[in-house]
């Protein structure tokens, strides 16, 4: 339960809206009690008055009360749903932003111990589970408690003995049922939380490896494994629903027993002195009041899920970033940049093999360097170290003769532009997809960047308001690369890191993209990671990487003359692609 305290503190921002939601829920419950009680009294009193009382019995006032209670219940219910759900969504939005702000500094160095599906489940499923705390626990409990107080006081004016019994039973339900069903339902809640996380992890893993699973069927059917997890999950949920049904059945039983007890008490306390219409009011008041206890009976049934979800999120909250940035910025010249990597070692785990082994590399200002190597030799890892996704175990990286660790995060982001292998296209307009790189850019700058990279065709029709992503204009592989370069131009950093910019493109598009990159980076320092050799002769230096360190270094002509690894790599690729 202590795990919930940090999240309760986050709700203070919307506390008045949440309080208003509870008050509206209480008004709705009281209006329901008043409607049913008054209706029962009205019917009984009208029957007693009969035709003889047609001119003496006041039909108008109770009829107006019934209509007023019905209208009040409808309006209050609508407003309660509106206010409570709006407040809950705001809390969840604030919670997601808070959690993302905690995850962001951790990634990727501080989140690699979490599986991708597990992290997704924490960010989505666990956050959604937390809304049970207000909607299923706090609001029903407070509402039922207030209804019990009002009903107890109201019934005391008719018969204080009956009022004590009704209020006592209702208070007993409020005090005993939540902890009882919390204890009974805790195993099911814990299993649901665990199976939900396992199901999401399995599904994410299988979807990410769908191509391999279809091409190379494993020994066991992954769909069967997923189906078994789902079957267990559904069975546990059914068990929880059975407990819910048991709680509701017990409420119905207690309602009937309370009504019988009320009749017995009234029969022993001069029933004849109490009007028959008032007796009907008592019965219907008990029926309506006990309806408010329905959510209370199962309020804590889901609390174990909420508690586990909060505990899992707290693990992210308490995690400290592995990579930290200084708060005080440096005084730097960001018009040009030279990059120095000296004797850098790196491993993803303390006991794992070295991914980078005493790697040394220097890039002068405005120099273009291509880094070649087979998959897994450490090229992409080096780019991650340059952006401080990770820190090296040994050695030093410098920009403009200043340690990389001395740069504040805004300064480092302003110094480096990354054109990644996978270009993210968001379900937003063309303008918003471009402004991701430069939020302050105006339309003229956006149009200029698109024109430079040869994407003027995207401006046809709705122009910068054209919709991209799902349901929008599809982009080819070459257009995606050009859009990424347009973003890099808008960012306008002195250092460009290119991660496989020619991957997945046909030969003609490769040449066009390479020529474009060389053109737009004339005044930039460029480190290009690639295994494609298209246009590589134009760079200033080529480095061949193997097992975490540089084994060859020089210009295209120098390396071809050596007839070593680069020469063999080029001969093999020319034979493979015929060029």
Tell whether 399 and 272 lie within a shared domain: no
Tell whether 257 and 170 lie within a shared domain: yes
- For tokens 């937390």, the residue is 130
Decide if pLDDT at 352 tops 60. Answer: yes
Tell whether 305 and 365 lie within a shared domain: no
Q: Measured between alpha carbons, how far is residue 143 from residues 108, 138, 259 in Å?
A: 45, 8, 22
Q: With bands split at pLDDT 50, 70 and 90, how would you rate the model's confidence at 574? A: low
Decide if pLDDT at 575 tops 80. Answer: no
Q: Give the pLDDT of residue 350.
A: 75
Q: Give the pLDDT of residue 269.
A: 61
Tell whether 126 and 18 lie within a shared domain: yes
DSSP assigned state of 429: B
Structure-model confidence comparison of residues 140 and 114, the more confident one: 140
Q: How far apart are CA 421 and CA 383, in angstroms?
A: 12
Let me know if residue 468 belongs to a domain. Answer: no
Say which CATH number the domain at 359 has. 3.40.50.300
Contact 495, 525 (CB under 8 A): yes
Tell whether 177 and 87 lie within a shared domain: yes
Q: Give the pLDDT of residue 219.
A: 59
Q: With bands split at pLDDT 50, 70 and 90, how would you rate the model's confidence at 494? A: very high
User: Alpha helices, DSSP H only, in 441-564?
Assistant: 443-452, 477-491, 507-520, 556-562
Say which CATH number the domain at 195 has. 1.20.1560.10
Contact 306, 130 (CB under 8 A): yes
Number of domains the chain is built from: 2
Tell whether 41 and 143 lie within a shared domain: yes
Per-residue pLDDT of 550-560, as tens digits, reads: 999 998 888 88
Decide if pLDDT at 459 tops 80. Answer: yes
Tell whether 274 and 372 lie within a shared domain: no
Tell whether 360 and 232 lie within a shared domain: no
Q: How far apart are CA 442 and CA 165, in angstroms?
A: 72
Q: With bands split at pLDDT 50, 70 and 90, how would you rate the model's confidence at 220? A: low
Strands 402-403 and 525-529: unpaired
Per-residue pLDDT of 501-554, as tens digits, reads: 877 777 787 888 888 888 888 889 999 998 888 888 889 999 999 888 899 999
Helix (H, G, I), strand (E, B), or coil: what is residue 396? Answer: strand
Structure-model confidence comparison of residues 339 and 114, the more confident one: 339
Structure-model confidence comparison of residues 447 and 472, the more confident one: 447
Let me know if residue 210 belongs to a domain. Answer: yes
Decide if pLDDT at 171 tops 60. Answer: yes
Instruction: Tell me the whole-structure pTM to 2 decimals.
Output: 0.74
Let me know if residue 215 belongs to a domain. Answer: yes
- With the C-alpha atoms ordered 493, 499, 500, 504, is the resulting torsion angle positive or negative? negative
Tell whether 8 and 92 lie within a shared domain: yes
Per cent of the chain over pLDDT 70 is 93
Helix (H, G, I), strand (E, B), or coil: what is residue 397? Answer: strand
551 burial via Cβ count (<10 Å: 0-12, 13-18, 19+): middle
Tell whether 381 and 244 lie within a shared domain: no
Decide if pLDDT at 62 tops 80. Answer: no
- Lookup: tokens for 406: 């001395």
Q: Give the pLDDT of residue 496.
A: 92
Tell whether 245 and 365 lie within a shared domain: no
Q: With bands split at pLDDT 50, 70 and 90, how would you rate the model's confidence at 5? A: confident
Q: Give the pLDDT of residue 577.
A: 52
What share of residues in the chain are helix, strand, coil (percent, to 5)? Answer: 65, 10, 25
Per-residue pLDDT of 259-279, as tens digits, reads: 888 888 877 765 544 556 677
Let me know if residue 546 belongs to a domain. Answer: yes
Tell whether 407 and 363 lie within a shared domain: yes
Structural domain that includes position 88? 2-317
Let me know if residue 181 belongs to a domain. Answer: yes
Decide if pLDDT at 38 tops 90. Answer: no
Q: Give the pLDDT of residue 54.
A: 58
Let me know if residue 330 belongs to a domain. Answer: no
Single out the residue of 422, 338, 330 nearest to residue 380, CA to CA.
422
């Amino acid at each position: 339960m202590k795990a919930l305290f940090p999240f309760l503190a986050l709700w203070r921002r919307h506390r008045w809206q949440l309080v208003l939601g509870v008050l509206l829920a209480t008004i709705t419950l009281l209006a329901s009690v008043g409607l049913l009680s008054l209706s029962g009294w009205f019917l009984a009193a009208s029957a007693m008055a009969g035709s003889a009382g047609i001119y003496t019995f006041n039909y108008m006032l109770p009829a107006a009360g019934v209509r007023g209670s019905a209208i009040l219940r409808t309006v209050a219910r609508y407003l309660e749903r509106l206010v409570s759900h709006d407040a809950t969504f705001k809390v969840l939005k604030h919670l997601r932003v808070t959690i993302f702000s905690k995850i962001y500094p951790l990634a990727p160095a501080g989140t690699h111990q979490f599986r991708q599906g597990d992290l997704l489940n924490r960010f989505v499923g666990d956050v959604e589970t937390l809304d049970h705390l207000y909607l299923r626990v706090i609001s029903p409990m407070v509402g039922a408690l207030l209804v019990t107080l009002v009903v107890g006081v109201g019934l005391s004016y008719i018969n204080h003995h009956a009022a004590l019994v009704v209020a006592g039973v209702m208070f007993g339900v409020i005090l005993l049922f939540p902890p009882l069903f919390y204890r009974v339902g805790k195993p099911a809640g814990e299993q649901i939380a665990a199976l939900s996380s396992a199901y999401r992890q399995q599904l994410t893993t299988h979807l990410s490896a769908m191509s391999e699973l279809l091409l190379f069927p494993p020994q066991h059917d992954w769909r069967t494994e997923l189906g078994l997890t789902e079957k267990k999950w559904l069975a546990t949920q059914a068990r929880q629903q059975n407990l819910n049904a048991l709680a509701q059945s017990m409420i119905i039983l207690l309602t009937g027993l309370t009504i019988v007890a009320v009749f017995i008490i009234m029969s022993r306390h001069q029933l004849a002195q109490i009007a028959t219409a008032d007796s009907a009011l008592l019965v219907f008041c008990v029926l309506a009041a006990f309806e408010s206890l329905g959510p209370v009976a199962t309020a804590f049934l889901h609390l174990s899920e909420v508690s586990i979800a909060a505990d899992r999120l707290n693990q992210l909250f308490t995690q400290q970033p592995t990579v930290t940035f200084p708060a005080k910025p440096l005084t730097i010249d960001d018009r040009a940049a030279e990059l120095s990597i000296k004797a850098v070692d790196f491993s993803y785990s303390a006991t794992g093999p070295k991914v980078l082994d005493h790697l040394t590399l220097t890039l002068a200002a405005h120099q273009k360097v291509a880094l070649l190597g087979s998959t897994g030799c450490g090229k992409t890892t080096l780019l991650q170290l340059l952006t401080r996704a990770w820190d090296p175990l040994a050695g030093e990286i410098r920009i403009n003769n200043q340690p990389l660790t001395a740069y504040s995060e805004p300064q480092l982001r302003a110094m480096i532009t990354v054109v990644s292998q996978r270009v993210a296209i968001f379900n937003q307009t063309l303008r918003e997809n471009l402004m991701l790189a430069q939020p302050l850019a105006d339309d003229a700058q956006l149009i200029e960047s698109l024109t430079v990279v040869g994407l003027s065709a995207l401006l046809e029709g709705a122009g910068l308001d054209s919709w991209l992503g799902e349901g929008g204009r599809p982009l080819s592989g070459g257009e995606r690369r050009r859009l990424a370069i347009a973003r890099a131009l808008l960012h306008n950093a002195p250092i460009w890191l290119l991660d496989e910019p020619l991957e997945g493109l046909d030969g003609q598009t490769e040449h066009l993209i390479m020529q474009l990159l060389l053109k737009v980076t004339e005044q930039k320092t460029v480190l290009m990671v690639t295994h494609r050799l298209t246009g590589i002769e134009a760079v200033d230096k080529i480095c061949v990487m193997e097992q975490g360190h540089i084994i060859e270094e020089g210009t295209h002509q120098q390396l071809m003359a050596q007839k070593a690894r680069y020469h063999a790599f080029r001969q093999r690729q020319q034979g493979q692609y015929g060029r």
